Amino acid sequence: VIKCKAAVAWEAGRPLSLEEVEVAPPKAHEVRIKIVATAVCHTDAYTLSGADPEGCFPVILGHEGAGIVESVGEGVTKVKPGDTVIPLYIPQCGECKFCKNPKTNLCQKIRITQGRGLMPDGTSRFTCKGKQIYHFMGTSTFSEYTVVADISVAKIDAAAPLDKVCLLGCGISTGYGAAVNTAKVEPGSTCAVFGLGGVGLAVIMGCKIAGASRIIGIDLNKDKYAKAREFGATECISPQDFTKPIQEVLVEMTDGGVDYSFECIGNVGVMRAALEACHKGWGISVIVGVAAAGQEISTRPFQLVTGRTWKGTAFGGWKSVDNVPKLVSDYMSKKIKVDEFVTHTLPFDKINEAFELMHTGK
């Protein structure tokens, strides 16, 4: 058993608490990882807020991390101690019908236990002050050591800087894949991206790499426009600057609507606007943001009857074990940006400050 520091969420709505935890050794088909770097994501904040119906407490959150394999359980063949890895919240077992289908990346092998905050055998590897602590999204990267299933880990280039590539564990991969895998953005097309946080910027990067000729960024926070342009946005607008609904503004700006739109916020009203900003006959709108539990999307069926397509994406459609190492290689060969997404680097004990910076849009 390893004793180390972890940021424990004891209950919903309270700041994380830095504690000494015990991390049990990996069982069969499990991997224990020394986490070197982790990022914070709105999904962690969503669960911490208490709004997540799958949220269990006490829990160690975090799902964008990178580290080094410390030890492996029986039967693990794909990684060994010393390997550089990224933990994966969407695993890839290669055996379930989802993994065998090229149309999806949603491996279901350990979905049930992962959703309950447990390892595949139905138990936890974390304890603190004599209490069992739940896992989160199969990763729990807010700990100096974590244990994950062997199908939830991608071995990457050992030369990659872990304080950067940890972002490929969720945000960048999600946004970039939404553009290139889910929407399949075409050269010369017009795109609209709603929400210019990390995921929105990654969508913009994907649209640009795919050859889009016009990329319109939409956000209430104008402080984000300069960064969006740096990533490839051709123009940025705020819904607050117009008296009419933003979808009508976009339809007028683009002679009938955009070819592709992306919702990167998790707001069902914005999801509707994103669909309705699409061009009749061929427009495709992709939902990337995660809405709060129990919320529903709505539009008039005529929007779809007249040829628009509404899609969703998880982790950008990437089959994780196969593609995360390739994304790291693309970053190492400068095909995709990663460094530019990092705004602040803080010591582990300042993790609550990291959440504050995220909430203020900084």
- CATH number, domain at 291? 3.40.50.720
In a domain, 180, yes or no: yes
Q: Mean pLDDT of all residues in the chain?
A: 97
Burial (CB count <10 Å: 0-12, 13-18, 19+), residue 295 = exposed
At 90 the pLDDT is 98
**According to the model, what pLDDT value does residue 342 have?**
95
**Is residue 112, in this structure, part of any structural domain at all?**
yes
pLDDT reading at 54 higher than 90 = no
Q: How confident is the model at residue 35 (pLDDT cuts 50, 70, 90)?
A: very high
Residue 360 counted as domain residue:
no
Question: What would the two tokens of residue 115 be?
Answer: 């959703």
The enclosing H or E element of 312 equals strand 309-312
Lowest mean pLDDT among 11-15, 52-56, 230-234: 52-56
The predicted structure's pLDDT at residue 349: 96
Residues 269, 337, single domain; the answer is no
Do 120 and 181 share a structural domain? no
Domain around 208: 175-314
Identify the pLDDT of residue 292. Answer: 86
User: Do residues 224 and 160 both lie within one domain?
Assistant: no
159 and 196 together in one domain: no
Tens digit of each residue's pLDDT (9 = 90 or more) over 155-186: 999 999 999 999 999 999 999 999 999 999 99
Residue 162 placed within a domain: yes
**pTM to 2 decimal places:** 0.96
Q: Determine if residue 193 is left, alpha or beta; phi over 0 gives left, psi from -120 to 50 gives alpha, anything else beta.
A: beta
Q: Do 32 and 159 fall into the same domain?
A: yes
Residue 237 is assigned to a structural domain of this protein: yes
> What distance in Å separates the CA atoms of residue 59 and residue 50, rounded to the nearest whole number?
12
**Are residues 159 and 243 part of one domain?**
no
Q: How confident is the model at residue 249 (pLDDT cuts 50, 70, 90)?
A: very high
Residue for token pair 């595949």: 120
- pLDDT of 52 strictly over 90: no
- Whether 294 and 207 share a structural domain: yes
pLDDT at 15 over 90: yes
Supply the pLDDT for residue 293: 85
Q: Is residue 308 part of a domain?
A: yes
Tokens linked to 4? 């180390």
Residue 358 falls within a domain, yes or no? no
Using the CB atoms, write b or e for 350-360: b if 16+ within 10 Å: ebeebbeebee
Where are the strands (E) in 59-195, listed by range?
59-60, 64-72, 84-87, 126-128, 131-133, 145-149, 153-155, 190-194
Answer yes or no: do 271 and 325 share one domain: no
Report, as an integer, the average pLDDT of 264-291: 97
For the cut 90, the answer to whether the pLDDT of residue 237 exceeds it is yes
Residue 242 neighbours by CB under 8 Å, 6+ apart: 249
Q: Is 136 in the same domain as 241?
A: no
- Are 234 and 284 in a shared domain? yes
Same domain, 329 and 309: no
| CA distances, 106 to each of 25, 94, 147, 317 (Å) | 28, 11, 21, 8
100 φ/ψ sector (left φ>0, alpha ψ -120 to 50, else beta): alpha
Q: Are residues 76 and 117 in the same domain?
A: yes
Domains identified in the chain, total number: 2
Residue 180 and residue 206 in contact, taking contact as beta carbons nearer than 8 Å: yes
pLDDT at 299: 98
CATH of residue 151: 3.90.180.10
In whole angstroms, give the CA distance from residue 117 to residue 147.
12
Q: Calculate mean pLDDT across residues 308-335.
A: 98
Q: pLDDT per residue over 95-131, tens digit each?
A: 999 999 999 999 999 999 999 999 999 999 999 999 9
